[in-house]
Chain A
Amino acid sequence: MILLEAGLRNVRSFDAQLIFAEQLRARGFDACIGAEYFPEDAGRGRTYEAAKLLVDKEDLAPKTVFVLGAEEIGDPLLASLREKQLEADVPVIATGRFTDNQSYVGAKARLAYALGREAKVIDLTDTQPRSMMPTAICPLVAEVKPVARPTVEIPRLTIVLGSMELDNPETLPCLSRMSFQGEYSLKIVVNGLQNDEIKSSSFRDLPTVLYTDLSPLTLARETDILAVFGQGMAGERMAALAVELMAAGGVVIDGTEDEALLSSGAPALLGPKTPFSLDGYLTGKVLGNIAHISDQVSRSPWLRTIDITRLETAADLKPGNLRAARKTRTTLFVPTNGVGLGHAQRCTVIANEMPARTTPVFAAFPSCVPLVRRRGFDCIPLVARTDEKDTPNANDLLTYRRLSSALQPGDRLVFDGGFVFDSIYRVILERRLSAAWIRRGLWPGGRPSQGMLDREGVFDRVIVPSEAFQELNDAYSYGDHVRYVGPIVRQVVLSPEDRDHLRDRLAERFGNEFRQLVVSMLGGGVASDRTAQLQAISGNLAERPDCLHLIVTWPGSTIQPSFFGWRNTRVVQTFEATALCLAADLVISAAGYNSVHEILYHGIPAIFIPQSAPYLDDQERRATALSDRGLCATITDTELMKLERTLRDCLDGDELEHFRAALAEIELPETGTMAAARILAEDWKKR
């Protein structure tokens, strides 16, 4: 374990610790940071970065201690070093940018006072006499890639606006035009103020990334051309990004007012000082010459000054190997249900059709774990979101840690959900995964917000399970990576004999001979409270002694005690609701994707009562598409009288027959389960 300490405890130092720790980890060293360094105002991005690096004081067992920013040493560092009482064989290495010999001597002495022995102090100005950021606490080193940078079809351009203000009315339109360029893809790194300004303008769709959204190492991997603007380098993260990119043979364009990069001797291009002429500069000078520029960069003697191996040698760090890489590729499904089980259900259906050579595994929230395991898959349990106000994303941090440790570069992550959590977004980029997003449609409001689609770019494939009816299939994004497949439905076969047998068993189990079986599946009451509807149904059916009414929920759902009071109503918690639906004469259901398509594809007569919540799909639109075709009845949540009437029509009239006939006749598209499984099993060319 290499423990990274810092001369001072503040956000700037913490950034340096994060950057260097991640670099060391990428080099195979077990680098970590003491939890006491975590600043109160760390912000969301840093919290994720830190989550995998922080170690509690009592768990620290360093084999090497590395102090960053030794040019300024505060008493907390000295007290912490003294308190640790490090064994004599634990080397302490410190780096700093010392302005003169006295500051070097002073730092060395102060460390020696705390340690009771000498530390090895490395003056970074020896190797980097002209740093692009002379005040950087981070060593600003990188792994120099010995091989030529592979050419890419569409280079990824990252623009760092730096200290540039957005008061010029031409700036955002210019960036917007660039974002539509087909010759490169654009990402803009902004600070919080710039981001607020952009998001409140009519250019809110600009692809922005905050400084702390991704680590410099990850951002460098996602960049082929970096253009930096403003006065000086925009902080250590951006300096580290530039260094990482140049070490990998990437193109860096120095558009800073003071030519901060070029004045350090870095192999950067002298570019325009504003973004206005950047597009012309890129198309005229850069895009056609990337390979040549990259070759020049990789032959620059300056790279020696930032070569991380020199620092490792000076610090006597032996290259490590955190853990041996797995030889087989893992395909990990991450369904994101917090309430129902729809995403998890769909994923298990697809995973079940995956070829035998793949062994899909799952990471799922507690409500879904039993279902996933029941379907025969291993499952990493995740932690459900809580109402904790201080750290509302605490559970996602755990998800991030668990996924990070379960996956390795080359693995495949299959995400099924609406909002792409930070954990998913980061893990895909940081672990260099191939990734697919199973994204069903019918998002509320007709289309998802741009924020929800912003992260689509990290997925190599977007698999869209279609709705059965074409008017419900909205397109949210375009491109070769978006693959539409037929409706994904779990299909259960129940022969007439088995159906009769199941009905007999139900009668026996509940001691209630029945002629008609009604199944209600209106959810657990979290998304929409359906107590009134269930009471109305139960009350209505109580007057029918030849009827058995089953309220069916997922195991673990909360059940209202009042449901147990009705004469012929029974509560059933099961993962096998489809079989009960097949045995039923009538199903009264919410109109989620899985329920509707299972009912539709199995030809089960149904009344739909759509649920509505901001995070749910547009269930009313889906249900109405069916009822408009005479395939079912749709009742909104306020139509209790209509519900009673429709029940009567179904159970006493010919409505059920009418539905059955329509369902038998309707032509439905081929299901998409096999197609989805096939796509997920393919080898993809990285986007």
Chain B
Amino acid sequence: MFGDSRHVAPVLRQVLNALRIPLIWDAPEISADLVIFHNPAFLKFQNALDARILARSLVVVTHENFLRPGGDEGFDVSACLGQIDASTLALRKFIAPISPYNRSTVNNWLSGHRLARHWIVLEDDWFNICNTEIRTTRASPQDRRGRHSRPGFEKFPSPEELDDCFPEHALANVILGADALLDAEVIRPHWKMLPFDAVSVEEFFDMIDFFVYFTTPTWRESFGRVIAEALAAGKVVLTDTDTGQTFGDAVITCRPPDVDDIISDLIAHPRRYVEQVAKAKPILERYSAQSFRKKLTGFLATEIAEAQ
């Protein structure tokens, strides 16, 4: 997204190839009935969008939260939306949040910015499409915990809370993406700290039964793809209430000091563990490709009706 390197998501490349649609980088003019603009935050390091957008409808999908917990902006939203506004000629401009939590930050931000009141927030979330195949889970879980994320400071709670989440008495504490901890020479002999990408996500999930995921309290996941991956891997997920909003009862929401008791309880009652894992199925299906196709079709139908 930022910098000179350009990568195309494998799935997108596959689709473009199948449909024989050429990929044009940095087109000076983008003209279509519907233009979908992903992640306006990518404009935060530039002063202008070097393209003109001509469309009947523009949908801006907000992959980053507009606000951080506490109400401070996550990025300069006005500047980013302003660049899009200034470069776009469209009848209607929509904002498509990607999760309930993300939606709340969008709405809260818009409520304080009158100059952005022409943006219409779509009713349905344009969520991340998730894998719905849930791997078989262990019938008797062990106290094997772990977390996986990019290594940024926003992804990690305080050292004290990390200690709560990954105590000495656990059989395993695997932290994938622990680059910052390794750089800071944090010493915890009972933690297996791995740099980001040191092992595959599959290998990582094989090492754990509980995915314990807390971030710094001043930042939240806008969707939480990593949690969806953990659910699909058949793991019990423990996280905070904000992040948990997206996944309903498929995840256990709690605070770091509560983690130990919850895990002890589930180990003592393996049936409850299995039941908890099973709750992931309907949630992940809510975020399936099929589900998204249905929502998009509905949106397009409305758009066509409007146009006629």
Partner of B68, one of A78, A100, A112: A112
B157 CB within 8 Å of chain A: yes
Chain B residues positioned under 8 Å from A108 (CB to CB): 72
Complex CA distance for A102 and B74, rounded to whole angstroms:
9
Complex CA distance for A106 and B186, rounded to whole angstroms:
26
B189 CB within 8 Å of chain A: no
Min CB distance B257 to A, Å, is: 15
B197 CB within 8 Å of chain A: no
Main secondary structure of the interface of A (DSSP, over half): helix
Partner of A113, one of B45, B152, B160: B152
Q: Are the CB atoms of A109 and B68 closer together than 8 Å?
A: yes
Q: Are the CB atoms of A82 and B158 closer together than 8 Å?
A: yes
Among A114-122, A335-343, A679-687, the stretch in contact with B:
A114-122
Q: Are the CB atoms of A113 and B70 closer together than 8 Å?
A: no
Chain B residue at minimum C-beta to C-beta distance from A101: B76
Q: Are the CB atoms of B72 and A109 closer together than 8 Å?
A: yes
Q: Are the CB atoms of B73 and A79 closer together than 8 Å?
A: no
B219 CB within 8 Å of chain A: yes
Chain B residue at minimum C-beta to C-beta distance from A102: B76
| Residues of chain A in range 82-121 having any CB-CB distance to chain B below 8 Å | 82-83, 85, 100-102, 105-106, 108-110, 112-118
Complex CA distance for A100 and B46, rounded to whole angstroms:
10
Sample of 14 more A-B contacts, CB < 8 Å, known A102-B76, A113-B216: A78-B153, A79-B153, A82-B153, A82-B158, A100-B47, A101-B78, A102-B44, A102-B75, A105-B74, A108-B72, A109-B72, A109-B154, A113-B218, A116-B218
Scoring A79, A85, A108, A112 by chain B CB atoms within 10 A of each residue's CB, the highest score goes to: A112
Contacts A79-B180, A79-B183, A105-B75 given: A85-B218 contact, CB under 8 Å? no
Contacts A75-B183, A82-B158 given: A118-B70 contact, CB under 8 Å? yes
| Residues of chain A in range 515-531 having any CB-CB distance to chain B below 8 Å | none
Min CB distance B187 to A, Å, is: 12
Chain A residues positioned under 8 Å from B10 (CB to CB): none
| Residues of chain B in range 61-79 having any CB-CB distance to chain A below 8 Å | 68, 70, 72-76, 78-79
Chain B residue at minimum C-beta to C-beta distance from A84: B159
Q: Are the CB atoms of B75 and A106 closer together than 8 Å?
A: yes
Q: Are the CB atoms of B44 and A112 closer together than 8 Å?
A: no
Complex CA distance for A85 and B163, rounded to whole angstroms:
13
Q: Are the CB atoms of A117 and B72 closer together than 8 Å?
A: no
Chain A residues positioned under 8 Å from B44 (CB to CB): 102, 106
Chain A residues positioned under 8 Å from B186 (CB to CB): 83
Complex CA distance for A607 and B45, rounded to whole angstroms:
84
| Residues of chain A in range 460-514 having any CB-CB distance to chain B below 8 Å | none
Give the A-binding residues of B (Cβ under 8 A): 44-45, 47, 68, 70, 72-76, 78-79, 152-154, 157-160, 180, 183-184, 186, 216-219
Chain B residues positioned under 8 Å from A117 (CB to CB): 217-218
| Residues of chain A in range 107-139 having any CB-CB distance to chain B below 8 Å | 108-110, 112-118
Chain B residues positioned under 8 Å from A100 (CB to CB): 47, 76, 79
Complex CA distance for A613 and B165, rounded to whole angstroms:
69
Min CB distance B40 to A, Å, is: 12
**Mind listing 26 A-B residue pairs with CB under 8 Å?**
A75-B180, A78-B180, A79-B183, A79-B184, A83-B184, A83-B186, A85-B158, A100-B79, A102-B44, A102-B76, A102-B79, A105-B76, A106-B44, A109-B75, A109-B218, A109-B219, A112-B68, A112-B216, A113-B152, A113-B153, A113-B216, A113-B219, A116-B217, A116-B218, A117-B218, A118-B70
Chain A residues positioned under 8 Å from B152 (CB to CB): 113
Partner of A118, one of B45, B74, B78, B218: B218
Chain B residues positioned under 8 Å from A112 (CB to CB): 68, 70, 72, 216, 218-219
Q: Are the CB atoms of B75 and A118 closer together than 8 Å?
A: no
Q: Are the CB atoms of B180 and A109 closer together than 8 Å?
A: no
Min CB distance B49 to A, Å, is: 14
Chain B residues positioned under 8 Å from A114 (CB to CB): 153, 216
Min CB distance A538 to B, Å, is: 63
Q: Are the CB atoms of A105 and B70 closer together than 8 Å?
A: no
Complex CA distance for A105 and B71, rounded to whole angstroms:
12
Complex CA distance for A109 and B78, rounded to whole angstroms:
16
Complex CA distance for A83 and B185, rounded to whole angstroms:
10
Complex CA distance for A108 and B73, rounded to whole angstroms:
9
Partner of A101, one of B74, B79, B154: B79
Give the B-binding residues of A (Cβ under 8 A): 75, 78-79, 82-83, 85, 100-102, 105-106, 108-110, 112-118
Chain A residue at minimum C-beta to C-beta distance from B43: A102
Contacts A85-B159, A102-B44, A105-B73 given: A113-B154 contact, CB under 8 Å? yes
Scoring B157, B160, B180 by chain A CB atoms within 10 A of each residue's CB, the highest score goes to: B180
Chain A residues positioned under 8 Å from B160 (CB to CB): 85
Chain A residues positioned under 8 Å from B219 (CB to CB): 109, 112-113
Complex CA distance for A101 and B153, rounded to whole angstroms:
21
Chain B residue at minimum C-beta to C-beta distance from A81: B153
Chain B residue at minimum C-beta to C-beta distance from A83: B184
Chain B residue at minimum C-beta to C-beta distance from A117: B218
Chain A residue at minimum C-beta to C-beta distance from B41: A102
Chain B residues positioned under 8 Å from A78 (CB to CB): 153, 180
Complex CA distance for A443 and B183, rounded to whole angstroms:
56
Complex CA distance for A83 and B45, rounded to whole angstroms:
29
Q: Are the CB atoms of B157 and A109 closer together than 8 Å?
A: no
Complex CA distance for A85 and B216, rounded to whole angstroms:
13
Q: Are the CB atoms of B218 and A83 closer together than 8 Å?
A: no
Min CB distance A248 to B, Å, is: 39
Min CB distance B151 to A, Å, is: 10
Chain A residues positioned under 8 Å from B70 (CB to CB): 112, 118
Partner of A109, one of B45, B47, B74: B74
Min CB distance B241 to A, Å, is: 16
Complex CA distance for A548 and B70, rounded to whole angstroms:
91
Complex CA distance for A112 and B184, rounded to whole angstroms:
18
The 10 closest A-B pairs by CB, nearest first: A112-B218, A102-B76, A113-B154, A113-B153, A79-B184, A101-B76, A102-B44, A113-B216, A78-B153, A105-B73
Chain A residues positioned under 8 Å from B153 (CB to CB): 75, 78-79, 82, 110, 113-114
Min CB distance A638 to B, Å, is: 62
Complex CA distance for A516 and B133, rounded to whole angstroms:
112
Q: Are the CB atoms of B157 and A116 closer together than 8 Å?
A: yes
Chain A residues positioned under 8 Å from B76 (CB to CB): 100-102, 105
Min CB distance B213 to A, Å, is: 16
Chain B residues positioned under 8 Å from A115 (CB to CB): 218
Complex CA distance for A75 and B154, rounded to whole angstroms:
12
Chain B residues positioned under 8 Å from A75 (CB to CB): 153, 180, 183
Complex CA distance for A106 and B219, rounded to whole angstroms:
12
Scoring B45, B160, B184 by chain A CB atoms within 10 A of each residue's CB, the highest score goes to: B184
Scoring A83, A100, A102, A106 by chain B CB atoms within 10 A of each residue's CB, the highest score goes to: A102
Complex CA distance for A594 and B68, rounded to whole angstroms:
76
Complex CA distance for A83 and B73, rounded to whole angstroms:
25
Chain B residues positioned under 8 Å from A101 (CB to CB): 76, 78-79
Chain B residues positioned under 8 Å from A85 (CB to CB): 158-160
Complex CA distance for A82 and B70, rounded to whole angstroms:
19
Chain B residues positioned under 8 Å from A113 (CB to CB): 152-154, 216, 218-219
Min CB distance A34 to B, Å, is: 14
Complex CA distance for A64 and B159, rounded to whole angstroms:
20
Min CB distance B256 to A, Å, is: 12
Complex CA distance for A75 and B183, rounded to whole angstroms:
9
Chain A residues positioned under 8 Å from B157 (CB to CB): 116
Min CB distance B185 to A, Å, is: 9
Complex CA distance for A15 and B75, rounded to whole angstroms:
31
Chain A residue at minimum C-beta to C-beta distance from B159: A85
Chain B residues positioned under 8 Å from A110 (CB to CB): 153
Chain A residues positioned under 8 Å from B217 (CB to CB): 116-117
Min CB distance A65 to B, Å, is: 15
Complex CA distance for A109 and B153, rounded to whole angstroms:
10
